[in-house]
Each structure stands twice: as C-alpha cells, then as structure tokens.
Amino acid sequence: MVNSKYMPLDGANAVAQAMRQINPDVVAAYPITPQTAVVQKFSEYVADGIVDTEFIPVESEHAAMSACVGSSAAGARVMTATAANGLALMWEVVYIASGMRLPIVLTVVNRALSAPINIHCDHSDSMGARDSGWIQLYAETGQEAYDNTIQAIRIAEHTDLLTPVMSCQDGFITGHGVERVGILPDDVVREFVGIYQPDAYLLDTDHPVSMGAFDFTDYYFEHKRQQIDALERAMPIIEAVGKEYEALSGRPQPIIDTYGMDDAEYAIVALNSAAGTARAVARQWRAKGVKVGIVKPRVFRPFPAKQLTEALKGCKAVAVMDRAVSFGAAPGMGPLFTEITSALYVEGITGPKVLNYIYGLGGRDLVPPMVDSVYQDLQATAGDGNGQVVRYLGLRG
C-alpha cells in the first residue's frame, strides 16, 4: 500500500485530478452544469502543459461523444464528462460507443432531466442510459468518484471486455461538496493504468476492418449477443481491478458496500450520497438495539444480482430507495427497485417484504427524519404487510 496525499476537493475536481494522473490521449467535451468543473479544471491542465492530452472543445455533447468514438476507434485512450440533458443529447452516440466496443470512460455528474428545467441531482440521466450497454459505477463520496475514475480505465480497456464505462456521482451534493480526498502519487496511478497500446483497433491503417456499418438481419442479433456476453464477463474483471486498487490505496472497493447486514432484519438499499445519510441514521437505530442495515451498490451495470440477494435474503423487510422513476412502470416503480425484486424472484427468495421509496427528485434533500420514517415503515410492514408498495419520501401532500 502507498500513502495518499489528502486534499480538500469537491467531487468534480477529484475526478479532474484522476484524469490529470491518467493523462488520456483525447478528451472531447462540452460544458454543462454541474459537470462543467470537471472539464474546466482539466482544460487548465492541458493549457498549462501538465498533461499531453488533445483537448477538443466541441459544439455539443452529441459532437463530444462522436469525437470520442472516432478517437477511440483510432486507438486512443479517451475520456469525457457530462450530465443530464448533455447525456440525453449524446444518446445516439452512446449506443454506438458500446456497440463498437470502444473503451471510453465517461464521468456523469448526475442531474435531473428537464422539463421542467432543473440543475440539481437525481438519477434520471444515468438511469435512462442503464440499458445502453455501458458499465455503470456509482460513487457515494468525492473519494469514491476519484477511485472509480481510475479503476474505470482498467475495466474498460481490459482485453476480455472492451466496453465503455460511466462513472457517476451526485450533482452538487458530491460534485460541488468539498471533502477530504486521498490522492495517490502520480507515478503510482500512471503505473496502475499503464500505457494504452491496444493489440487491435478499428482505424488501424495497417490492418483495416469495417465496423459499425450497416448490419442487416443476418448478423445484428449475433453482435448484440456478443455485447451481452461481454457484460456477463465484466463482474469478475471489476472485482479483480477493485482488489488490485485496494491493495494499492488501502481503500476497499466492494461491488456492494454493506453496514450491519450480518444480522439485519430491516435494510435500506441506496445509491450514491443517500447511502451516507442512511448509514448515519442506521447507526443511531443500532445504538437503540434495532437490527437495521444499509446496502449500497457501487456497481449498477452489470447488475450485482447475486451479491444483493445474498445480502438481503435474511431480512424481514427491505426499502429500496430510487432517485429516479421508470415512468409507466406498474405502479410507478423506480429502476433499482425493479432490478432488486426481479433478482429476488429469480433466486426464489420470498422472505423479505420489499418497499420502494422514490425520493430526492430534482435535488430535494434527503434528511435523517425521512430515513427514520423508512425504518418505522419497515417495522410496520414486517408486522402486517399492509400498505402501498411504492411510496414518496419528502413529497408535499
């Protein structure tokens, strides 16, 4: 293990620090709140000659991802960042990047999609892209955003995977919130990520191939199956990279992070910054002798079904907290809830009663009394099983 240098950093600048240490070949980006600070700070490193990166300021996020696709296809190590409507504008090219198996790393500083216009955090942007064929990592803190960014390079570029990665953190909450972040030495990060020298790439003039062109009914299905196979291989690779990074940094990198789950009767599952608030409340309930726990997935795609079902199977009642809604799902369920309940069903686990809490849309705060009310609901639900499955936390009546 090597010692980190601790600095007061917001999450956006923590990612910019990781990008500086990675020193990618190309960054193509367009500013959008609350992501702007990531590429703004990184552009300073480019202007000052601190990195060798070719920085491409483009006219839109669609153009940004298009430039990333072209650069990655030419054998470059490529990174970018966006949020909300910027990710939505990238939509067409996001699918092209994964379909062409290009190991691009994209930081998403989560923000609500409009309309109405909102610049604050929810997960509607990255959750909307959950089926785009990208790996998705989620960070509770600025520290995790830094760590995930570095690991994302190794994951995406793994020769058995070659799949793009989204590294997500909560807009403003961690993106602009200053925390104590441990930064590894530059040379250690450079050695960890290595020099990107792909054995083969699409625009190799010495070995030209056709890729991403018209794919009629004869082979499209098979190419999609290859993407499925790649993502099914991803979890062991993510775990191996995490263990190597943990040995380097001393910071554990679990697929799912748990608190109190060895004997928990009531559990909350939450992504990103909400897990910190929920964990603080859980400690208070534990001090009162109530067996409660917290589960925080760090990886959402591929979905860690086995890890989550193993963690939750002994509970009496579980609350799944979603900062996004799957509109039209019955009855208005969130994406994390539908994934978890499907996994429990497939594994034949019927013990826990599972509730879905929609919270924090458009950046509305999650405060400790709200989490208290969730644990109270879980106790009541375990007792009689009555009540709505989908509930809204912090919504004005």
Q: What does the DSSP assignment read for 113-160?
A: PPSSP--S--SHHHHHTTTSS-EEEEESSHHHHHHHHHHHHHHHH-TT
Give the residue from 334, 358, 311, 346 showing the smallest Cα distance to 130.
334
- pLDDT of 166 reads 98
**What tokens appear for 42 in the block?**
């990184």
**C-alpha span between 116 and 183 (Å, rounded):** 38
pTM: 0.97
Q: Is 326 helix (H, G, I), strand (E, B) or coil?
A: coil
Q: What does the DSSP assignment read for 211-240?
A: -SS---TTTHHHHHHHHHHHHHTHHHHHHH
Does 1.10.540.10 match the CATH number of domain 256-393? no
Residue 138 contacts residue 300 (beta carbons within 8 Å): yes
Could you give phi then psi for residue 98, rounded to 5 degrees?
-75, -40
Neighbour count for residue 128 (Cβ, 10 Å): 17
For 5-249, which CATH superfamily applies? Thiamin diphosphate (ThDP)-binding fold, Pyr/PP domains (3.40.50.970)
Give the residue from 304, 260, 277, 259 showing the smallest Cα distance to 360.
277
pLDDT string in tens for the chain (397-residue length): 999 999 999 999 999 999 999 999 999 999 999 999 999 999 999 999 999 999 999 999 999 999 999 999 999 999 999 999 999 999 999 999 999 999 999 999 999 999 999 999 999 999 999 999 999 999 999 999 999 999 999 999 999 999 999 999 999 999 999 999 999 999 999 999 999 999 888 888 888 877 778 888 989 999 999 999 999 999 999 999 999 999 999 999 999 999 999 999 999 999 999 999 999 999 999 999 999 999 999 999 999 999 999 999 999 999 999 999 999 987 779 999 999 999 999 999 988 999 999 999 999 999 999 999 999 999 998 776 667 899 999 999 7
Neighbour count for residue 6 (Cβ, 10 Å): 12
**Do the strands 266-269 and 317-322 form a parallel or antiparallel pair, or are they unpaired?**
parallel
**What tokens appear for 340 in the block?**
């978890």
Kindly list the domain boundaries of the chain, sorted by start residue.
5-249, 256-393
Q: What are the respective helix, strand and coil percentages of the chain, to the nearest 5?
A: 40, 20, 40
- pLDDT of 385 reads 62
**C-alpha span between 397 and 394 (Å, rounded):** 9
